[in-house]
Structure 1
């Protein structure tokens, strides 16, 4: 359906507090999830500490600088905006890069093909999305393997069906059975055809970024895309302090089209930056500010997201570690810094882990990372479901386990009602001291909404659990994702628009030789 033909206004969906009603379909998930937090974000740092980090970021931008390698256009744009350019190196006087960022919107809508699924980035809103970029997938039946296009489509379907995920993601997994130079067309098509949630386009070359935007124009309408953000591009900084020409070139394509640009420094303390959390936060701020400044130099007012992907390393072995307390501290600090910069924040948290299976370590790492992310006030959470092996693998079973935890955390962010109904004074008239409250009118009235209802079934008493096969959470998750895919129904899409998309893909593919590397 072309969004230009939809008469229903974009609005926040109503949110029911407490447990969501579930369909009778096997494997069905709750039908709604909140997108607005009702509890305040946690402020880790005070004014003096925040100002010190901002001062360090200014020092990096002025004294060290950021390189835009191979992209003379980007450097010229920043020179015209007042930056100091020497070869590839770009430096900013104290406060200059921040001043350039001032035209970026504090909050904006990221439109979905179904207007009811449009999300807001910024303010008190929160948007969760699945993992990104894994070349492998795994499940209990087939084990670990290279991802295929059908795996990619499956994760788009699952993300569409999961109410705790508000966004379809981007390269949820890398479909290696399609040539490198053509697979972006299949991925964008899958997001547009199999889901009606917001999504991310390609950034692996500027031409692929342009293809992504053109496909969005086919579906949403050229005039609508010119005036509204309908997809995102993830621009990874080659930390420390380098934008290569692929990333800055794709950044320019998205910015020129007025589409959302997420600037994502990637810093592992001790490798791409110093080991200390304060230094990681300051360098992340410096790199992101430089990228946002470039976006605004191209098109003032273009929507941006201050992103990050940071964590720690085992400094004895060089192995990456996730869910660590130091990374959580950086997550909380960056959310504060992003609010001060005045742009939405993408957290580097989500449910990330270096574990190789969806086991206790995986869920410990993931829960720790998600907890700090959710209370930090971040507006967009990437890698919220499915991530294993430091991002090398998307797991079908962990996807379900993670989505369940996302739903519980979203329930927490709804906060606690404190009113006459919540105090339930009339229930004390029905239940005398020593009685239970199970049959009171208040309990019966709230029994379906009082508590979050997990997706994974409760194991019950040990004896009952053993009688039913003694299944682990991973085994239950295996059954659930299969049931979900079996019951999946694609959202509607106008047949003519679908045909135009297919024709565009065919024409683009016919003009390209297959490139596998």
Structure 2
């Protein structure tokens, strides 16, 4: 009897181990770039009204504070500089730019296997933000984050299947010099992951040395221009309806060097954007359309991500509400406008207002991530790891977010209705000739991996099994997974000769 029990347990362990092993890409039930777009919070009439309101805002209100170079580009393209210093955009100009914009954008990665196809309503989840604190999930503490923390986030991202890209999620608070911070951000992220990367620059003069480093990593200027694997996340506007002068100059430099651009409009509903969901979407759409005209005036067809990022606000306190239902609606509505224009788009989701990866964080992160995916948002930014309304980033939460996003992606995949999936033949065989249940049937076993997404760290065991396993805690499991990842050398690390050349040319703060 004891022997049989051991054999049975051993067989169960082997099956569990087989299920835990990574599936081949062609067998995975979810993968980057699956098409969403089934959820549409706006009616066709609503979309038309928002579009027309955005065009009216551009034509009658316009944007202030463009740099002299921007004024020259925009007025040459057909925009009008008013006596009040505001640049206004005739409707026909904006419509022509929308019609001629680049719709076939692929964001490259150092490893082409991680390239992101942004056509249509293909969905990709990733990080973003500028958190100033790292969250210690186990000790329930916050501390200032540094370049090592950023590098570790990149290394963790590199091995997580459902985190498809890394936009810099935190700033290097341990590097005082802004140029060195910008350069070390690129070094830390690129040496940590071969997935697509997004970054920002604090000064236009920092772009050229950053591009020099990227040429070195890519293997030369031609290789970089053929496959630019880093995008400039650019807050080109200061809502409401003003250009961010210095950021616009950064954008101009990045475009000249062949770097894709995320046009990021991040108004706060009720503060720097209208308090209504519809009004915030109108303003963000208008601002990003102005940015699109700007980019097209510099270089027609340049790869752009239409980054409408309006944020919610708790009007009782003035605090940001990244984890609210309103935020989920803002992001899904923006995704629908991207779909209307058929332009590659990105917006924010997955932000937790909760300070720790707890139940509140779970509902906040899942709500907006699922709605963004169902709405067909191409680039879901800030989808994992972000806490305290973007003030804190947590490595353990990033790892737990991989499980969460797996379930969100399964929702994006939707329901397949075919003769096989409707299973009438199975029903007939099981009910009339078989055992009266579907457990162990060839069809059930054959599709258990192709149809179902299983959590890596989430626990679906019975209370008895859970107790027998020592009552495992999610945070402890995530911490153990983090330590396992970081105990191994990064697969994205640079060749020693290249690393030596980079370190000889630039001040790198990460230890060799």
Question: TM-score, normalised on structure 2?
Answer: 0.87
Segments of structure 1 that go 5 or more residues without pairing to the other structure are: 1-18, 25-29, 510-517
1:6 paired residue number:
none
Cα drift, residue 161 of structure 1: 0.8
Equivalence map 1:92-491=2 (5 Å): 92-141=89-138, 143-170=141-168, 172-181=169-178, 182-220=180-218, 221-236=220-235, 237-349=237-349, 351-423=350-422, 425=425, 429=429, 432=433, 435-458=436-459, 460-491=461-492
- Alpha-carbon distance, 1:141 to partner: 4.3
TM-score normalised to the size of structure 1? 0.86
Any idea what the Cα deviations from partners look like across 1:451-491, whole Å, max 9, x if unmatched? Answer: 21101141522244344443432332222222222245423
1:117 and 1:20 map into 2 onto residues whose CA distance is 25
Pick which of 383-392 and 76-85 moved more.
76-85
- How many pairs does the alignment contain? 482
Alpha-carbon contact 2:403-2:455 (below 8 Å) kept: yes
Q: Of 44, 49, 55, which aligns to 1:52?
A: 49
| Farther-moved stretch of structure 1 (284-293 vs 476-485) | 476-485
SS at match of 1:150: helix
Distance of 1:358 and 1:485 partners within structure 2: 20
Residues 267, 280 of structure 2: 8 Å contact kept: yes
Q: Is the Cα contact below 8 Å between 1:229 and 1:303 reproduced in 2?
A: no
Q: Distance in 2 between matches of 1:489 and 1:305?
A: 29
After superposition, the Cα gap between the structure-2 partners of 1:281 and 1:430, relative to the gap in structure 1 and judged at 3 Å, is closer
The verdict on how the C-alpha distance between 1:470 and 1:46 changes in structure 2, with shifts beyond 3 A counting, is same
Describe the shift of the 1:254–1:418 C-alpha distance in structure 2 as closer, same or farther (beyond 3 A).
Answer: same
Could you tell which deviates more after superposition, 219-228 or 335-344?
219-228
C-alpha separation in 2, matches of 1:426 and 1:459: 27
Q: 1:41 to 1:441 in 2, by over 3 A?
A: closer
CA distance in structure 2 between the partners assigned to 1:359 and 1:378 by the alignment: 26
RMSD after superposition: 2.6
How much has 1:164 moved relative to structure 2?
0.6
Q: What runs of 5+ residues in structure 2 fail to find an aligned partner?
A: 1-16
Task: Assess if the C-alpha contact under 8 Å between 1:20 and 1:32 holds in 2.
Answer: no
1:80 aligned residue: 76
CA distance in 1, matches of 2:154, 2:360: 26
* TM-fit CA distance, 1:210: 2.8
SS state of the match for residue 168, structure 1? Answer: strand
Structure 2: how far apart are the matches of 1:370 and 1:308?
A: 16
- Note the C-alpha offset of 1:99: 2.3
Contact 2:36 2:377 in 1 (8 A): no
1:154-200 per-residue CA deviation (whole Å, 9 max, x = no partner) reads 10001111111111222x21121122321121121122222111112
- The alpha carbon displacement at 1:421 in A equals 4.4
Question: In the aligned structure 2, how far is the partner of 1:457 from the partner of 1:295?
Answer: 44
Q: Give how far 1:51 is off.
A: 1.8
Structure 1 stretch 386-395 or stretch 315-324: which is displaced more? 315-324
Alpha-carbon distance between aligned partners in 2 of 1:374 and 1:314, rounded to the nearest angstrom: 24
* 1:307 aligned counterpart, secondary structure: strand
Taking a change above 3 Å as real, the CA distance of residues 68 and 459 of structure 1, as seen in their structure-2 partners, is same
